[in-house]
A and B are shown apart, each in its own frame.
Chain A
Amino acid sequence: MTSLTPILTRSWGDETPWKLESYEKAGGYEGLKKALGQSQADLVQLVKDSGLRGRGGAGFPTGMKWGFLPAPDGGPRYLVVNADESEPGTCKDIPLMMADPHLLVEGVAITSYAIGSHHAFIYIRGEVVHVYRRLLKAVADAYAAGHLGKNIHGSGFDLDVTVHAGAGAYICGEETALLDSLEGRRGQPRLKPPFPAVAGLYARPTVVNNVESIASVPAIVRGGADWFTSMGTERSTGHGIFSLSGHVTRPGQYEAPLGITLRELLEMAGGIREGHELKFWTPGGSSTPIFTAEHLDVPLDYESVGAAGSMLGTRALQIFDETTSVVRAVSRWTDFYAHESCGKCTPCREGTYWLKQILHRLEHGKGEAGDIEKLVDICDNILGRAFCALGDGATSSITSAVQLFREEFEAGMTQPASELFPPERSALFDYTPRRSAGAAAGAVHA
């Protein structure tokens, strides 16, 4: 039985864990002091040895990413932290920055030192104003305490950190779109190559890392690579935050070694809500193909989830019980992708627009002959044809849901999802039916 490993989430239950003195009292910024005494190459090697893989979804080895930077040429190079957490179901970076912002700031300082960056940016999702404020305060406090700024702790290393709030676009979580947005341009993904390591922010060598990846660095520096690899599996080392949401008794963030199973996590979370059973779930947010109860014992590491036909993604486990219409769930997700498609490439822009309309038909019991085949074929025309991974993600839930629950889509030819699966049954709270459009003045939802 795997047990929880609260490292990133250790302090979340403490009194005011976001304050600098709380963080320092618990040994905060010790990792930075230790790191500043080491050579930069050793630090990069340490993170390589730890096997830490990007926690933002793609799982690319973090140390290797740092190693891709060309040799210093005297010009600036940047660290950019991707804090634009927007994937449906994903809720790990936001609470981390809310509860323990200094952990991220320390990670930023160590990483910047390791890669030779003197200016780091944290690009935070614009909607979470409270988190943005807390991060700004943490950075200001860190400056005042000498953890940032000129000649940090007498090491001679200078670092400025800029916290930047985005304007609320899912696409800006794509690293090159994020860089464009950070530069003040329209947030759309860039053509690669050149990759950010060669020409990223302001066309300079840039490392873009997820919040959780960077926040994992201080503990690796303190504990060493062996400590980190003692957790997780051989190729998916270490710990990570698993966000359980939906029809579970105790939804929330569970930090555990990679390779834990949903069955184990559900036990910790008190199981599926009383009197219900698991129908389907996402292993890594809405962009990953869905799983069912069959997959309860799939180890949640990069390789095993991949082998089982999905992706570990951001470890956003959205749990749905038997009261849920898969058509309705997929239709909502597709609405999200159609809304968030940046519009740059044809397959994603037009494809999601079309998928959304077909799914709405099926959801309302007005499907037409051939709609299911059409859905699957449109997905095939988007997957791997779009400019970035947003388009691919938009198709994952649809194709997997059709595979696993085709009969529900077929029922959509004649029966509305709301009849087959009355929404009030799956709601965790009292269900308030939406007023039909124009029924009453002042209706908020049109």
Chain B
Amino acid sequence: MTTTTDSQTPVAVDPNLVTVTIDGIETAVPKGTLIIRAAEEIGIAIPRFCDHPLLKPVGACRQCLVDVAMPDREGNVRPMPKPQPSCAMEVSPGMVVHTQKTSAVAAKAQHGVMELLLINHPLDCPTCDKGGECPLQNQALSDGRATSRFTDVKRTFAKPLKISTQILLDRERCILCQRCTRFSKEIAGDQFIDLQKRGASQQIGRFDEDVLGFAPLGDATVGPAAEDESGRAFASYWSGNTVQICPVGALTSAAYRFRSRPFDLVSTEAVAEHDANGSAIRIDHRRGTVMRRLAGDDPVVNEEWISDKDRFAFHWQTAPDRLTHPLVRDRAEDGTRGELRTASWAEALEVAATALAAARDAGGVGVLPGGRLTIEDAYAYGKLARTALGTNDIDHRARPASAEEESFLGHAVAGHGIDVTFGDLEKAPAVLLVGFEPEEEGGIVFLRLRKGTQAGRTRVWSLAPFATRGLERLDGTLVPTAPGLESEVVDALATGTDEPSLAALREALGAQGALVLVGERLASVPGSLSAVLRLTAATGARLAWIPRRIGERAGVEMGTLPGLLPGGRPVSDAAARVDIAAAWDVTELPTAPGRDTDGILAALAARELRGVVVGGVELGDLTDPVAARAALEAADVVVSLEVRASEVTDLADVVLPVAPPAEKSGSYLNWEGRVRAFRQALESHALPDHRVLDELARHLGTDLGARDGNVLRKEIDQLGAWDGERVAAPATEAVAPAAVAPGTAVLASWHLQLDAGRGQDGEPFLAGTARKAVARLSAATAEAAGVADGGVLRVSTGAGRIELPAVVTDMPDHVVWLPTNSPGSAVRAALGVLPGAVVQITAGTVTTTEEA
């Protein structure tokens, strides 16, 4: 965009470019560029603190003052009487700027501000987390005075203040640049801190509930957090970003506080594994231990922000239950399982291969790779299943799934490449969310949507039982929808309706760039995905499927669904099978229709299948965890590829340890379909899944060619796109909602971003910022159940019960919402049902939430 020219040559006149001179260098920059950015473009660094490229200018710290002269009406360049903040002033044609490098006035102004910033600063760099990577420290050295003239009394504060279990505030170090408060207000919409008091007493802090957007009771955090006088706690999933953008050490995280010095750290660029975005991160490690993770800078994906989960939840990779050696379980004569014992790789692979071959020949082997795989790993699983194991019984969906969803994915997602992008989210005029809570399930998707809504470009509608705090911060419009009725509402939108609010929504979806975002939860609402396809066809809105897990899209594209080969090639299509068989150098691929996750488990239980290869799967995530356990128990052989011991380990005959993300290289595929390659951060003996699978296949007599990730990637690239027929669109009928008898309600549920997931293990500070598990229901439903707001509600089925504090919420009657997998609320394990099911609700008896 920027051109630098010899000052003699006239600059090409582009109406969108403005020509300015900075320190004698003429440059042309786009209209509206701030002086500080224009200077950056030509390599002139102006010191700054409050300036941040993703936040609105504030001009508060005054560190970036420069001398500015502008042409008057006659064209004479006249200097402005005072130095101007280059972070807040846009360039104008013919402007002449002198920075500290060429103007004594600017240099003096900057020195003066720097000295003033330091007078009340504790200068405790040797004990400060930020020391060594601190913009204040760095710029004080590069642009400040060598000594201070301040001999007076410094302002002191009690410190640190605990804003939450994770975020700590040292007000003495704070230079009041307002980056944190601006982030909280402009980006996250969680105004959990703000300025208070004035003058030298001004400080960042908590404030009155009427001024700030406090989390209401239902969004209270698990752990202690700063509270307002009414006792409500601050909750934000994005608070870690304030620590990273703090230009001093005022905000620190409890997890990293006093852990290491920046200059001892080795940084590796990486990709976060906790949601389907594949956010760019930086892993900072020291002597083989990850000390912290920071947001990377990737303008097309996460910009410079990441969720607290992506930032803080990494101890799971090195948890004490980490599997380090292959394990083998010997079985007694009668087939009962003995204890697991450590084995060599050679033995474990041999045992696994022998048992799998026997199981394959006795009925078949299913493959459950799990939803967190890289492209390479997913591809290797698919190839293993369809070659060495000779089956289409493979499904990476370790969650409620359906045949309708598989058709939907094969029809509308697989092989579509990058379609809807993050950039589209913030530009879309209208966005409809169906079965998708962007903040809880979409991570960075939420911030991008909010960017669009904050800029006034985007309007958001959500089909959900109630307006979450996330939807409120998107200024979103709720289309109140009881669970199970999504198909009906979507179809009403698709076919047209007289209902005025829906008609307006339908019209909005007809606008150029309108989007429909659907979540993985719709898989358990029969007919909803079929209806969504009818809606997008009818309105022209574009469609994006945003699952929760990082490996979901890779699985869809790499062929770990029963009916899909790599590239979205339908298994049922002979040409597609020939295509892949040729690429894999096998004579033919299995043709029998494959089973999905529930089908594989049922077949194991029925002993139609005799063995199973399981990747990273938590039984509690499956539709029916109890049945899943029984299915694995029934199998002749369970081979588990896992990072950490899990419930599957307890049932496995062979356990093959695999590398966590930090210890391998690979490529995730995010929900957009964007390849997110990452390098290995830590040296490790642990092997990636594809390499273990390659060995396993070798022992089964097949060469997967999956030993080397790069070779594998090349093979994947060479497959090329599939130009044949896609899977046909699903046309599943909606199911009439179940009747709600007195004392019962329809269950609504989704995962909270921070919950009881094992990926967050070992992070008590992070867990303290999770939202407390509560049950939500309408006032009328609560009254009918005999529960007061704040009282304990018991939700039960034949399988079990959950007791949580009830929060009366504005939502449809006869609906109760529970978090899917929060402490005290493991819905699938405790109740054995999915959203849309009818559950009993009554007043609870216990006062704690430690039930389930």
Contact = CB atoms under 8 A, between A and B. Distances in A.
A374 B401 CA distance: 73
Contacts of B88: 191
Contacts of B198: 169, 171, 340-343
A384 interface: yes
A381 B109 contact: yes
Nearest to B199: A341
| Interface SS, B side | loop
A354 B119 contact: yes
A357 B176 contact: no
A384 B83 contact: yes
A339 interface: yes
B119 A353 contact: yes
Given A353-B155, A374-B149, A387 B60 contact: yes
Interface string B71-88: 000000000011100001
A186 interface: yes
Interface residues of A, number: 36
A385 B62 contact: yes
A347 B113 contact: yes
B195 A343 contact: yes
A381 B117 CA distance: 12
A345 B112 contact: no
Contacts of A361: 152
B175 A346 contact: yes
Interface in B207-261: none
A345 B199 contact: no
B115 interface: yes
Interface in A238-278: none
Interface in B33-69: 57-63, 65
A380 B152 CA distance: 19
Interface residues of B, number: 38
B108 interface: yes
Contact of B62 (A186, A341, A346, A380): A346
A387 to B, nearest CB: 6
Interface string B191-204: 00011011111100
B120 interface: yes
Contacts of A347: 62, 112-113, 116
B151 interface: yes
Nearest to B57: A191
B69 to A, nearest CB: 15
A344 B62 CA distance: 10
Q: Which of B61, B175, B199 has the most CB of A within 10 A?
A: B199
A385 B57 contact: no
Nearest to A342: B198
Interface string B88-117: 100000000000000000001101110111
B153 interface: yes
A343 B176 contact: yes
Contacts of B202: 342-344, 349
Interface string A113-150: 00000000000000000000000000000000000000
Contacts of B152: 354, 357-358, 361
B150 interface: yes
Given A338-B200, A341-B200, A357-B153, A350 B62 contact: no
B61 A350 contact: no
A324 interface: no
Given A350-B116, A381-B112, A191 B59 contact: yes
B482 to A, nearest CB: 38
A349 B108 contact: no
Given A381-B108, A384-B81, A350 B119 contact: yes
Contacts of B60: 344-346, 387
A17 interface: no
Interface in A165-191: 169, 171, 186, 188, 191
A424 interface: no
9 contacts: A340-B198, A341-B198, A347-B116, A353-B119, A353-B155, A353-B199, A357-B153, A381-B115, A382-B112
Interface of B: 57-63, 65, 81-83, 88, 108-109, 111-113, 115-117, 119-120, 149-153, 155, 175-176, 194-195, 197-202
